[in-house]
Amino acid sequence: MRYIEPTRVKVLMVMFYATGMMGLIVGLGVAGKDMTMMITFMGVINIGLGAFFTFIFLTQIQKEPDKRKKKRKSD
């Protein structure tokens, strides 16, 4: 899998966790009887996506700089 910058992954993690929690709260508390199950299910999907990006963040290997592009010291 391609290397993704840690700040970008952190933003995605926070976004999915926040919308997932909001979806669970709205689905289980605020929503009417018609859409309760659907909103709750979407909240669970968002929490799952947050967990996926957390896994990506914790397991990706840091990108190594290209040695060919490094400047050489002049003798």
pLDDT digits (tens, 9 = 90+) for 6-58: 899 999 999 999 999 999 998 888 877 888 889 899 999 999 999 999 999 99
Residue 69 lies in a domain: no
Residue 74 lies in a domain: no
**Residue 29 belongs to domain spanning:** 6-59
Residue 30 lies in a domain: yes
- Residue pair 60/1 in contact by the 8 Å Cβ criterion: yes
Residue 75 lies in a domain: no
Entry pTM:
0.76
**Phi, psi of 17, rounded to the nearest 5 degrees:** -65, -40
CA 46 to chain centre: 9
Determine the Cα–Cα distance for residues 17 and 48; give it in Å rounded to an integer. Answer: 8
Residue 35 lies in a domain: yes
Residue 16 lies in a domain: yes
Total domain count for the chain?
1
Distances in whole angstroms, Cα of residue 14 to Cα of each of 53, 54, 55, 64: 10, 10, 13, 26
